[in-house]
Structure 1
Amino acid sequence: MTSQMKSMRTLTREWLILPDQYDRFTRYLRDNGLTTATRLLLGIIVIGLGVCALLNRFSPAGPTSTIALFFNTVVVISCFVVGVSWWVFGPTKRRSFGFVVFCDIAVTISVVGDSSQLARLLTCVIFALVGIYIAYFHNPKLQIAHIAFSLLVIAVAAQPILFGPDRDPALGVSKVLVVITALVVCAFISQIVLTMLSMDASSSDLDPLTGLLNRRGLDRHVEKVLEGFQRQESAALLVIAIDIDRFKTINDVHGHDVGDRIILRVSQRLSAWAHADAVVARIGGDEFILVQRLSVPAIGPMLNSIGPAMHSNTDEIPSTSSVGIAVRTHKFVAGEDRAAAFTDMQKVADSAMYESKRLGGGRVHTIVTTAGR
Structure 2
Amino acid sequence: MTVVVGTVCVAVSCLIQSDPVAGLFGASTFGLVSAYTALFHTPRLLALCWTAAAATLTVLTVRWAGHDLAFVVSSALLVALVVVFVTFAGRMTIWLLDADIFHPNLDALTGLLNHDGFHEKAATLLTSSSRTDDRFFVVAVVNLDSYSLLRSLAGTIGVDRARIEVARRLRDTARSNAVLAHPSDSEFVIADLFTEPDTSPLIERVQGTINAASARLTASIGVVCTPLAPVAKLPAPDVIDELMAVASNAMYNARRAGGNRVTYVNDPALTVLDAPPTDEWPDDDTR
Q: TM exceeds 0.5?
A: yes
Q: Pick from 337, 345, 348: which aligns with 2:235?
A: 337
Residue of structure 1 equivalent to 2:138: 238
How much has 1:247 moved relative to structure 2? 0.6
Residue of structure 2 equivalent to 1:206: 106
Residue of structure 2 equivalent to 1:362: 260
Aligned counterparts of 1:309 and 1:328: Cα–Cα separation in 2: 25
* 1:369 maps to amino acid: D
Q: Report the CA distance shift for 1:257/1:300 in structure 2 as closer, same or farther (over 3 A).
A: closer
TM-score by structure 2 length? 0.56
Q: Provide the secondary structure at the position in 2 that maps to 1:360.
A: coil
How much has 1:334 moved relative to structure 2? 7.7
- The alignment of Structure 1 onto Structure 2 pairs a total of residues equal to 181
Q: Is the 8 A contact 1:332 1:338 kept in 2?
A: no
Question: Does residue 327 in structure 1 map to residue 213 in structure 2?
Answer: no
Aligned counterparts of 1:202 and 1:240: Cα–Cα separation in 2: 27
Q: Compare the two structures and name the one with the higher helix fraction.
A: 1
* 1:319 maps to amino acid: L
String of CA shifts for 1:312-355, please: whole Å, max 9, x gaps: 1xx54311111111111142458622210110000010011111
Aligned counterparts of 1:292 and 1:286: Cα–Cα separation in 2: 20
Q: Structure 2: 5+ residue runs without aligned partners?
A: 4-95, 272-287
Question: Does residue 267 in structure 1 map to residue 167 in structure 2?
Answer: yes
String of CA shifts for 1:82-113, please: whole Å, max 9, x gaps: xxxxxxxxxxxxxxxxxxxxxxxxxxxxxxxx
Q: Report the CA distance shift for 1:309/1:228 in structure 2 as closer, same or farther (over 3 A).
A: farther
CA RMSD, Structure 1 to Structure 2 (Å): 2.8
Aligned counterparts of 2:150 and 2:176: Cα–Cα separation in 1: 31
Written as runs of structure 1 = structure 2, the 5 A alignment for 1:79-94 is none
How much has 1:367 moved relative to structure 2? 0.6
Q: Is the 8 A contact 2:119 2:240 kept in 1?
A: no
Q: Report the CA distance shift for 1:238/1:244 in structure 2 as closer, same or farther (over 3 A).
A: same
Q: Pick from 322, 333, 351: which aligns with 2:249?
A: 351
Aligned counterparts of 1:360 and 1:260: Cα–Cα separation in 2: 24
String of CA shifts for 1:286-331, please: whole Å, max 9, x gaps: 111111112116634224333223211xx54311111111111142
Residue of structure 2 equivalent to 1:288: 188
Q: Is the 8 A contact 1:229 1:236 kept in 2?
A: no
How much has 1:234 moved relative to structure 2? 2.5
Q: Provide the secondary structure at the position in 1 that maps to 2:185.
A: coil
Q: Report the CA distance shift for 1:348/1:371 in structure 2 as closer, same or farther (over 3 A).
A: closer
TM-score by structure 1 length? 0.44
String of CA shifts for 1:140-179, please: whole Å, max 9, x gaps: xxxxxxxxxxxxxxxxxxxxxxxxxxxxxxxxxxxxxxxx
Q: Is the 8 A contact 2:105 2:113 kept in 1?
A: yes
Q: Report the CA distance shift for 1:358/1:199 in structure 2 as closer, same or farther (over 3 A).
A: closer
Identity %: 25
* 1:255 maps to amino acid: G
Aligned counterparts of 2:232 and 2:122: Cα–Cα separation in 1: 19
Q: Is the 8 A contact 1:215 1:282 kept in 2?
A: yes
Tell which has more relative contact order, 1 or 2 (C-alpha 8 A, sep 6+): 2
Q: Provide the secondary structure at the position in 2 that maps to 1:255.
A: helix
Aligned counterparts of 2:232 and 2:170: Cα–Cα separation in 1: 33
Q: Report the CA distance shift for 1:232/1:271 in structure 2 as closer, same or farther (over 3 A).
A: farther
How much has 1:245 moved relative to structure 2? 0.6
Q: Is the 8 A contact 2:131 2:228 kept in 1?
A: no
Greater Cα offset, 285-294 or 296-305: 296-305
Q: Report the CA distance shift for 1:293/1:232 in structure 2 as closer, same or farther (over 3 A).
A: farther
Q: Provide the secondary structure at the position in 1 that maps to 2:184.
A: coil
* 2:106 maps to amino acid: L
Q: Report the CA distance shift for 1:334/1:219 in structure 2 as closer, same or farther (over 3 A).
A: closer
Residue of structure 2 equivalent to 1:156: none
Q: Is the 8 A contact 1:229 1:293 kept in 2?
A: no
Q: Is the 8 A contact 2:130 2:232 kept in 1?
A: no
Residue of structure 2 equivalent to 1:217: 117
Q: Structure 1: 5+ residue runs without aligned partners?
A: 6-195
Q: Is the 8 A contact 2:114 2:182 kept in 1?
A: yes
Residue of structure 1 equivalent to 2:206: 306
Written as runs of structure 1 = structure 2, the 5 A alignment for 1:122-133 is none
Q: Report the CA distance shift for 1:254/1:334 in structure 2 as closer, same or farther (over 3 A).
A: closer
* 2:268 maps to amino acid: T
How much has 1:222 moved relative to structure 2? 1.8
Aligned counterparts of 2:231 and 2:215: Cα–Cα separation in 1: 46
Q: Provide the secondary structure at the position in 2 that maps to 1:318.
A: coil
How much has 1:216 moved relative to structure 2? 1.9
Written as runs of structure 1 = structure 2, the 5 A alignment for 1:1-373 is 3-4=1-2, 200-230=100-130, 233-296=133-196, 299-312=199-212, 315-332=213-230, 336-370=234-268, 372-373=270-271
Q: Is the 8 A contact 1:283 1:289 kept in 2?
A: yes
How much has 1:220 moved relative to structure 2? 2.4
